[in-house]
Amino acid sequence: MNRKEKRMETSMIHGGKHSDEFLRSLSMPIFQTSTFSFQNASEGERRFSGEEEGYIYTRLGNPTVKALEERMAVLEGGEKGLAFASGMAAVSAVLIALTKANDHILCSNGLYGCTYGLLTTLKEKYNIQHDFSLMETEEELRDRITDSTACLFIETPINPTMKVIDLRMVAKVAGEYNIPVVVDNTFCTPYLQRPLELGCDIVIHSATKYIGGHGDVIAGLVVGKKDFMDELAMNEQKDIGGVLSPFDAWLLIRGLKTLHIRLDRHSSSAGKIAKYLKHHPLVNEVYYPDIESPNLKGQMSDGGGVLAFDIEGGKEEAHQVMDQLKLIKIAVSLGDAETLIQHPASMTHAVVPEEERKKMGIGDNLIRLSVGLESVDDIWEDLEQALNAGAGKKKRT
Protein backbone atom coordinates (compact mmCIF):
# COMPACT_ATOMS: atom_id res chain seq x y z
CA MET A 1 0.00 0.00 0.00
CA ASN A 2 1.45 3.33 -1.00
CA ARG A 3 1.90 6.42 1.13
CA LYS A 4 -1.09 8.22 -0.33
CA GLU A 5 -3.45 5.39 0.60
CA LYS A 6 -2.10 5.43 4.14
CA ARG A 7 -2.90 9.13 4.35
CA MET A 8 -6.41 8.37 3.09
CA GLU A 9 -6.95 5.79 5.83
CA THR A 10 -5.73 8.20 8.48
CA SER A 11 -7.89 11.04 7.14
CA MET A 12 -10.99 8.86 7.43
CA ILE A 13 -10.43 8.87 11.19
CA HIS A 14 -8.76 12.26 11.78
CA GLY A 15 -9.70 14.51 8.83
CA GLY A 16 -11.44 17.84 9.33
CA LYS A 17 -12.62 19.20 12.68
CA HIS A 18 -11.31 17.24 15.65
CA SER A 19 -13.72 16.21 18.35
CA ASP A 20 -11.23 17.14 21.11
CA GLU A 21 -12.12 20.77 20.44
CA PHE A 22 -15.31 19.95 22.36
CA LEU A 23 -14.27 19.17 25.95
CA ARG A 24 -11.67 16.69 24.59
CA SER A 25 -14.33 14.14 23.68
CA LEU A 26 -12.72 11.31 21.67
CA SER A 27 -15.95 10.71 19.76
CA MET A 28 -17.49 13.67 17.95
CA PRO A 29 -20.41 14.94 20.10
CA ILE A 30 -23.94 15.04 18.71
CA PHE A 31 -25.23 18.60 18.84
CA GLN A 32 -28.89 17.61 18.90
CA THR A 33 -30.33 21.10 18.80
CA SER A 34 -32.42 23.04 16.32
CA THR A 35 -31.36 26.50 17.51
CA PHE A 36 -28.27 28.25 18.90
CA SER A 37 -28.58 31.24 21.21
CA PHE A 38 -26.64 34.52 20.96
CA GLN A 39 -24.81 36.29 23.75
CA ASN A 40 -26.53 39.51 22.76
CA ALA A 41 -28.60 41.03 19.95
CA SER A 42 -25.53 42.47 18.22
CA GLU A 43 -23.98 39.02 17.91
CA GLY A 44 -27.19 37.74 16.32
CA GLU A 45 -27.15 40.60 13.84
CA ARG A 46 -23.51 39.97 12.93
CA ARG A 47 -24.12 36.29 12.30
CA PHE A 48 -27.19 36.87 10.17
CA SER A 49 -25.37 39.49 8.12
CA GLY A 50 -22.40 37.18 7.57
CA GLU A 51 -20.03 39.57 9.32
CA GLU A 52 -19.25 36.93 11.95
CA GLU A 53 -19.06 33.17 11.67
CA GLY A 54 -21.06 31.10 14.11
CA TYR A 55 -24.08 28.86 14.45
CA ILE A 56 -27.62 30.17 14.19
CA TYR A 57 -30.00 27.34 13.34
CA THR A 58 -29.21 23.72 12.43
CA ARG A 59 -30.70 24.05 8.95
CA LEU A 60 -27.99 26.66 8.36
CA GLY A 61 -25.17 24.76 10.06
CA ASN A 62 -24.41 22.46 12.97
CA PRO A 63 -21.07 21.44 14.56
CA THR A 64 -21.63 17.68 14.12
CA VAL A 65 -22.74 18.09 10.52
CA LYS A 66 -19.87 20.46 9.80
CA ALA A 67 -17.36 17.92 11.13
CA LEU A 68 -18.69 15.40 8.59
CA GLU A 69 -18.63 17.96 5.78
CA GLU A 70 -15.03 18.92 6.53
CA ARG A 71 -13.89 15.31 6.66
CA MET A 72 -15.50 14.52 3.30
CA ALA A 73 -13.86 17.56 1.71
CA VAL A 74 -10.49 16.29 2.94
CA LEU A 75 -11.12 12.77 1.62
CA GLU A 76 -12.32 13.88 -1.83
CA GLY A 77 -9.63 16.56 -2.16
CA GLY A 78 -12.22 19.33 -2.46
CA GLU A 79 -12.49 22.76 -0.91
CA LYS A 80 -15.84 22.32 0.83
CA GLY A 81 -18.42 19.63 1.56
CA LEU A 82 -22.15 19.80 2.25
CA ALA A 83 -24.40 17.18 3.82
CA PHE A 84 -27.98 16.50 2.73
CA ALA A 85 -30.90 14.44 4.01
CA SER A 86 -30.55 11.86 1.20
CA GLY A 87 -28.57 11.09 -1.91
CA MET A 88 -31.44 12.36 -4.05
CA ALA A 89 -31.59 15.60 -2.03
CA ALA A 90 -27.92 16.07 -2.95
CA VAL A 91 -28.50 15.23 -6.64
CA SER A 92 -31.55 17.52 -6.83
CA ALA A 93 -29.76 20.44 -5.17
CA VAL A 94 -26.77 20.22 -7.51
CA LEU A 95 -28.80 19.91 -10.73
CA ILE A 96 -31.15 22.73 -9.72
CA ALA A 97 -28.15 24.91 -8.88
CA LEU A 98 -26.43 24.28 -12.21
CA THR A 99 -29.43 24.70 -14.52
CA LYS A 100 -32.13 27.13 -15.55
CA ALA A 101 -35.15 26.82 -17.85
CA ASN A 102 -34.31 25.59 -21.39
CA ASP A 103 -30.86 24.27 -20.44
CA HIS A 104 -29.49 20.85 -21.36
CA ILE A 105 -27.86 18.10 -19.26
CA LEU A 106 -25.69 15.44 -20.90
CA CYS A 107 -25.69 12.20 -18.91
CA SER A 108 -23.84 8.92 -18.89
CA ASN A 109 -25.73 6.10 -20.60
CA GLY A 110 -27.33 4.79 -17.44
CA LEU A 111 -28.54 6.44 -14.26
CA TYR A 112 -30.20 5.52 -11.00
CA GLY A 113 -33.96 5.35 -11.50
CA CYS A 114 -34.79 8.29 -9.22
CA THR A 115 -32.18 10.47 -10.92
CA TYR A 116 -33.90 9.63 -14.20
CA GLY A 117 -37.23 10.55 -12.60
CA LEU A 118 -35.82 13.92 -11.51
CA LEU A 119 -34.56 14.62 -15.03
CA THR A 120 -38.02 13.83 -16.38
CA THR A 121 -39.58 16.30 -13.93
CA LEU A 122 -37.09 19.02 -14.88
CA LYS A 123 -37.93 18.46 -18.54
CA GLU A 124 -41.69 18.57 -18.02
CA LYS A 125 -41.69 21.62 -15.72
CA TYR A 126 -38.80 23.74 -16.99
CA ASN A 127 -37.94 22.38 -20.44
CA ILE A 128 -34.51 21.33 -19.19
CA GLN A 129 -33.57 18.71 -21.76
CA HIS A 130 -31.35 15.70 -21.15
CA ASP A 131 -29.57 13.23 -23.40
CA PHE A 132 -27.56 10.09 -22.77
CA SER A 133 -24.08 9.48 -24.06
CA LEU A 134 -21.84 6.42 -24.08
CA MET A 135 -18.97 8.83 -23.27
CA GLU A 136 -16.48 6.48 -24.90
CA THR A 137 -14.66 8.94 -27.17
CA GLU A 138 -13.84 12.65 -27.26
CA GLU A 139 -15.51 12.97 -30.66
CA GLU A 140 -18.80 11.54 -29.44
CA LEU A 141 -18.82 13.89 -26.45
CA ARG A 142 -18.15 16.93 -28.60
CA ASP A 143 -20.99 15.91 -30.92
CA ARG A 144 -23.44 15.62 -28.01
CA ILE A 145 -22.57 18.88 -26.24
CA THR A 146 -24.80 21.78 -27.29
CA ASP A 147 -24.77 25.53 -26.73
CA SER A 148 -27.30 25.03 -23.92
CA THR A 149 -25.46 22.20 -22.13
CA ALA A 150 -25.20 23.32 -18.51
CA CYS A 151 -23.41 20.30 -17.05
CA LEU A 152 -22.35 16.71 -17.59
CA PHE A 153 -23.78 14.24 -15.08
CA ILE A 154 -21.98 10.92 -14.71
CA GLU A 155 -22.38 7.74 -12.72
CA THR A 156 -19.24 5.62 -12.71
CA PRO A 157 -19.44 2.75 -12.34
CA ILE A 158 -22.90 3.07 -13.87
CA ASN A 159 -25.76 1.63 -11.83
CA PRO A 160 -26.44 -1.25 -12.43
CA THR A 161 -24.41 -2.22 -15.52
CA MET A 162 -21.08 -1.39 -13.80
CA LYS A 163 -19.63 0.29 -16.88
CA VAL A 164 -16.75 2.61 -15.97
CA ILE A 165 -16.46 6.06 -17.62
CA ASP A 166 -13.02 7.53 -18.32
CA LEU A 167 -13.24 10.63 -16.12
CA ARG A 168 -9.96 12.17 -17.31
CA MET A 169 -11.19 12.11 -20.90
CA VAL A 170 -14.61 13.52 -20.03
CA ALA A 171 -13.10 16.29 -17.87
CA LYS A 172 -10.70 17.23 -20.67
CA VAL A 173 -13.49 17.67 -23.22
CA ALA A 174 -15.84 19.43 -20.79
CA GLY A 175 -13.03 21.83 -19.91
CA GLU A 176 -12.81 22.92 -23.55
CA TYR A 177 -16.39 24.18 -23.25
CA ASN A 178 -16.13 25.38 -19.64
CA ILE A 179 -18.89 22.95 -18.63
CA PRO A 180 -18.86 21.50 -15.08
CA VAL A 181 -18.64 17.73 -14.66
CA VAL A 182 -20.72 16.18 -11.86
CA VAL A 183 -19.85 12.64 -10.74
CA ASP A 184 -21.97 10.34 -8.62
CA ASN A 185 -19.21 8.53 -6.72
CA THR A 186 -21.50 6.41 -4.54
CA PHE A 187 -20.25 3.00 -5.68
CA CYS A 188 -16.58 3.86 -5.12
CA THR A 189 -16.37 6.44 -2.32
CA PRO A 190 -13.15 8.49 -2.15
CA TYR A 191 -11.29 5.38 -1.01
CA LEU A 192 -11.50 3.78 -4.46
CA GLN A 193 -11.92 6.82 -6.74
CA ARG A 194 -11.43 10.58 -6.42
CA PRO A 195 -13.05 12.37 -9.39
CA LEU A 196 -11.87 15.86 -8.39
CA GLU A 197 -8.26 14.72 -8.71
CA LEU A 198 -9.11 13.51 -12.23
CA GLY A 199 -10.31 16.95 -13.33
CA CYS A 200 -14.03 16.80 -12.48
CA ASP A 201 -15.80 19.61 -10.62
CA ILE A 202 -18.44 18.23 -8.25
CA VAL A 203 -18.75 14.89 -6.47
CA ILE A 204 -22.01 13.48 -5.11
CA HIS A 205 -22.55 10.53 -2.77
CA SER A 206 -25.51 8.64 -1.53
CA ALA A 207 -23.86 8.31 1.88
CA THR A 208 -26.61 5.84 2.76
CA LYS A 209 -24.47 3.22 1.06
CA TYR A 210 -20.78 2.52 1.80
CA ILE A 211 -20.06 5.65 3.82
CA GLY A 212 -22.77 4.74 6.33
CA GLY A 213 -22.14 1.08 5.73
CA HIS A 214 -24.65 -0.43 8.15
CA GLY A 215 -28.06 0.18 6.59
CA ASP A 216 -29.21 2.52 9.34
CA VAL A 217 -28.99 6.02 7.84
CA ILE A 218 -30.27 7.96 4.81
CA ALA A 219 -27.92 10.75 3.70
CA GLY A 220 -26.28 12.56 0.79
CA LEU A 221 -22.98 14.43 0.41
CA VAL A 222 -21.58 16.91 -2.10
CA VAL A 223 -17.99 18.11 -2.42
CA GLY A 224 -16.61 20.80 -4.74
CA LYS A 225 -15.01 24.23 -4.98
CA LYS A 226 -15.81 26.71 -2.24
CA ASP A 227 -17.49 29.36 -4.43
CA PHE A 228 -19.99 26.89 -5.87
CA MET A 229 -20.53 25.14 -2.55
CA ASP A 230 -21.19 28.46 -0.77
CA GLU A 231 -23.90 29.26 -3.34
CA LEU A 232 -25.33 25.76 -3.02
CA ALA A 233 -25.49 26.14 0.77
CA MET A 234 -27.06 29.59 0.64
CA ASN A 235 -29.68 28.79 -1.99
CA GLU A 236 -30.58 25.16 -2.65
CA GLN A 237 -29.62 23.73 0.74
CA LYS A 238 -30.94 26.53 2.97
CA ASP A 239 -34.08 27.41 1.04
CA ILE A 240 -35.17 23.95 -0.09
CA GLY A 241 -34.12 22.58 3.28
CA GLY A 242 -33.00 19.01 2.60
CA VAL A 243 -30.38 19.10 5.37
CA LEU A 244 -28.88 16.23 7.33
CA SER A 245 -29.69 15.76 11.02
CA PRO A 246 -26.86 15.87 13.61
CA PHE A 247 -27.45 12.27 14.66
CA ASP A 248 -27.25 11.00 11.09
CA ALA A 249 -24.08 13.02 10.58
CA TRP A 250 -22.63 11.32 13.66
CA LEU A 251 -23.49 7.89 12.21
CA LEU A 252 -21.63 8.78 9.01
CA ILE A 253 -18.56 10.04 10.90
CA ARG A 254 -18.53 6.70 12.68
CA GLY A 255 -18.96 4.84 9.40
CA LEU A 256 -16.03 6.64 7.78
CA LYS A 257 -13.66 5.31 10.43
CA THR A 258 -13.98 1.76 9.08
CA LEU A 259 -14.71 2.54 5.42
CA HIS A 260 -11.33 1.43 4.09
CA ILE A 261 -11.43 -1.87 5.98
CA ARG A 262 -14.95 -2.63 4.82
CA LEU A 263 -14.32 -1.70 1.19
CA ASP A 264 -11.23 -3.88 1.03
CA ARG A 265 -13.39 -6.82 2.12
CA HIS A 266 -16.35 -5.88 -0.12
CA SER A 267 -14.05 -5.60 -3.14
CA SER A 268 -12.13 -8.80 -2.46
CA SER A 269 -15.31 -10.85 -2.06
CA ALA A 270 -17.07 -9.26 -5.06
CA GLY A 271 -14.11 -10.04 -7.29
CA LYS A 272 -14.26 -13.69 -6.25
CA ILE A 273 -18.03 -13.93 -6.72
CA ALA A 274 -17.70 -12.36 -10.19
CA LYS A 275 -15.20 -15.07 -11.18
CA TYR A 276 -17.43 -17.84 -9.82
CA LEU A 277 -20.46 -16.52 -11.69
CA LYS A 278 -18.61 -16.49 -15.01
CA HIS A 279 -18.36 -20.27 -14.87
CA HIS A 280 -21.98 -20.98 -13.96
CA PRO A 281 -24.00 -22.41 -16.90
CA LEU A 282 -27.10 -20.32 -16.08
CA VAL A 283 -25.15 -17.04 -16.21
CA ASN A 284 -24.74 -15.41 -19.64
CA GLU A 285 -22.67 -12.35 -18.69
CA VAL A 286 -21.08 -10.84 -15.60
CA TYR A 287 -20.56 -7.09 -15.17
CA TYR A 288 -17.79 -5.97 -12.84
CA PRO A 289 -15.32 -3.05 -13.29
CA ASP A 290 -12.20 -3.86 -15.29
CA ILE A 291 -9.78 -1.62 -13.43
CA GLU A 292 -6.87 -2.89 -15.56
CA SER A 293 -8.37 -1.48 -18.76
CA PRO A 294 -5.64 0.69 -20.37
CA ASN A 295 -7.66 3.92 -20.52
CA LEU A 296 -9.04 3.44 -17.01
CA LYS A 297 -5.93 2.25 -15.20
CA GLY A 298 -5.27 4.40 -12.17
CA GLN A 299 -8.83 5.77 -11.98
CA MET A 300 -10.15 3.15 -9.55
CA SER A 301 -7.89 1.43 -7.03
CA ASP A 302 -10.19 -1.61 -6.77
CA GLY A 303 -13.40 -2.93 -8.30
CA GLY A 304 -15.78 -2.24 -5.42
CA GLY A 305 -18.46 -4.39 -3.88
CA VAL A 306 -21.24 -4.34 -6.52
CA LEU A 307 -21.62 -6.54 -9.59
CA ALA A 308 -24.41 -7.50 -11.96
CA PHE A 309 -25.09 -10.52 -14.12
CA ASP A 310 -27.46 -11.70 -16.86
CA ILE A 311 -29.07 -15.09 -16.48
CA GLU A 312 -30.79 -17.37 -18.98
CA GLY A 313 -34.40 -16.30 -19.41
CA GLY A 314 -36.18 -13.12 -18.34
CA LYS A 315 -37.90 -11.53 -15.36
CA GLU A 316 -39.65 -14.72 -14.26
CA GLU A 317 -36.38 -16.67 -14.16
CA ALA A 318 -34.58 -13.82 -12.38
CA HIS A 319 -37.30 -13.68 -9.73
CA GLN A 320 -37.20 -17.47 -9.33
CA VAL A 321 -33.47 -17.39 -8.60
CA MET A 322 -33.87 -14.56 -6.09
CA ASP A 323 -36.75 -16.32 -4.33
CA GLN A 324 -34.55 -19.38 -3.72
CA LEU A 325 -32.00 -17.43 -1.67
CA LYS A 326 -31.69 -18.18 2.04
CA LEU A 327 -28.81 -16.01 3.32
CA ILE A 328 -28.79 -13.18 0.77
CA LYS A 329 -31.51 -10.55 1.31
CA ILE A 330 -33.71 -9.14 -1.45
CA ALA A 331 -33.30 -5.39 -0.96
CA VAL A 332 -32.53 -2.42 -3.19
CA SER A 333 -29.71 -0.70 -1.34
CA LEU A 334 -26.00 -1.52 -1.37
CA GLY A 335 -22.88 -1.14 0.74
CA ASP A 336 -24.37 -2.80 3.83
CA ALA A 337 -22.72 -5.51 5.92
CA GLU A 338 -25.39 -7.86 4.54
CA THR A 339 -25.25 -9.14 0.95
CA LEU A 340 -28.21 -7.69 -0.95
CA ILE A 341 -29.73 -8.65 -4.30
CA GLN A 342 -32.28 -6.90 -6.49
CA HIS A 343 -33.86 -6.93 -9.94
CA PRO A 344 -33.27 -3.47 -11.49
CA ALA A 345 -35.88 -3.68 -14.26
CA SER A 346 -38.72 -4.23 -11.78
CA MET A 347 -37.25 -2.41 -8.78
CA THR A 348 -34.66 0.44 -8.78
CA HIS A 349 -35.08 1.28 -12.48
CA ALA A 350 -38.78 0.46 -12.89
CA VAL A 351 -39.52 4.17 -13.43
CA VAL A 352 -37.34 4.16 -16.55
CA PRO A 353 -39.36 3.29 -19.69
CA GLU A 354 -38.57 -0.17 -21.05
CA GLU A 355 -37.10 1.17 -24.30
CA GLU A 356 -34.72 3.44 -22.37
CA ARG A 357 -33.80 0.62 -19.98
CA LYS A 358 -32.77 -1.56 -22.89
CA LYS A 359 -30.61 1.23 -24.29
CA MET A 360 -28.94 1.43 -20.89
CA GLY A 361 -28.25 -2.32 -20.98
CA ILE A 362 -30.82 -3.17 -18.31
CA GLY A 363 -32.68 -6.26 -19.48
CA ASP A 364 -35.33 -8.27 -17.67
CA ASN A 365 -32.70 -10.96 -17.01
CA LEU A 366 -30.25 -8.60 -15.23
CA ILE A 367 -29.66 -9.06 -11.51
CA ARG A 368 -27.60 -6.73 -9.28
CA LEU A 369 -25.67 -8.03 -6.29
CA SER A 370 -24.15 -5.95 -3.48
CA VAL A 371 -21.62 -8.26 -1.86
CA GLY A 372 -21.55 -7.93 1.91
CA LEU A 373 -19.11 -8.74 4.69
CA GLU A 374 -20.15 -12.34 5.32
CA SER A 375 -17.81 -15.21 4.47
CA VAL A 376 -17.41 -15.21 0.69
CA ASP A 377 -17.85 -19.00 0.74
CA ASP A 378 -21.24 -18.68 2.43
CA ILE A 379 -22.30 -16.01 -0.05
CA TRP A 380 -21.34 -18.16 -3.02
CA GLU A 381 -22.93 -21.33 -1.59
CA ASP A 382 -26.24 -19.51 -1.25
CA LEU A 383 -26.02 -17.92 -4.69
CA GLU A 384 -24.97 -21.18 -6.34
CA GLN A 385 -27.80 -23.21 -4.80
CA ALA A 386 -30.31 -20.53 -5.84
CA LEU A 387 -29.01 -20.55 -9.43
CA ASN A 388 -29.12 -24.35 -9.52
CA ALA A 389 -32.61 -24.42 -8.03
CA GLY A 390 -33.76 -21.80 -10.54
CA ALA A 391 -32.29 -23.85 -13.40
CA GLY A 392 -33.96 -26.98 -12.11
CA LYS A 393 -37.32 -25.25 -11.83
CA LYS A 394 -36.95 -23.97 -15.38
CA LYS A 395 -36.33 -27.51 -16.67
CA ARG A 396 -39.37 -28.88 -14.80
CA THR A 397 -41.67 -26.22 -16.26
Tell me the pLDDT tens digit for each residue of 90-103.
999 999 999 999 99
Distance (Å, whole) CA 257 – CA 227: 29
Assess whether 169 and 300 both reside in one domain: no
Does residue 264 sit within a domain?
yes
Per-residue pLDDT, 21: 63
Per-residue pLDDT, 26: 84
Assess whether 207 and 268 both reside in one domain: no
DSSP string of 54-84, one letter each residue: ---BTTT--HHHHHHHHHHHHHHT-SEEEEE
Assess whether 214 and 86 both reside in one domain: yes
8 A C-beta contact, residue 300 and residue 195: no
- Please report which confidence band the pLDDT of residue 352 belongs to, taking 50, 70 and 90 as the band edges: very high
Per-residue pLDDT, 310: 97
Assess whether 209 and 344 both reside in one domain: no
List the domain range (segments joined by +) for residue 337: 259-396
Per-residue pLDDT, 19: 56
**Whole-model pTM?**
0.92
Assess whether 263 and 153 both reside in one domain: no
Q: Of 202, 234, 256, which closes a domain?
A: 256
Residue 17 has pLDDT above 70, yes or no: no
Q: Of 204, 229, 256, which closes a domain?
A: 256
Assess whether 180 and 222 both reside in one domain: yes
Mean of pLDDT over the chain: 93
Per-residue pLDDT, 391: 61
Mean pLDDT of 15-28: 73
8 A C-beta contact, residue 186 and residue 87: yes
Strand segments, DSSP code E, in 101-148 are 104-108, 129-133
Per-residue pLDDT, 393: 55
Distance (Å, whole) CA 96 – CA 230: 15
Does residue 45 sit within a domain?
no
8 A C-beta contact, residue 188 and residue 175: no
Tell me the pLDDT tens digit for each residue of 153-168.
999 999 999 999 999 9
| Sequence-separated (6 or more) residues with CB below 8 Å from residue 234 | none
- CATH number of residue 155's parent domain: 3.40.640.10
Sequence-distant contacts of 47-52: CB under 8 A, at least 24 apart: none
Assess whether 355 and 219 both reside in one domain: no
Residue 396 has pLDDT above 60, yes or no: no
Tell me the pLDDT tens digit for each residue of 169-226.
999 999 999 999 999 999 999 999 999 999 999 999 999 999 999 999 999 999 999 9
Count of structural domains, the chain: 2
Assess whether 87 and 143 both reside in one domain: yes
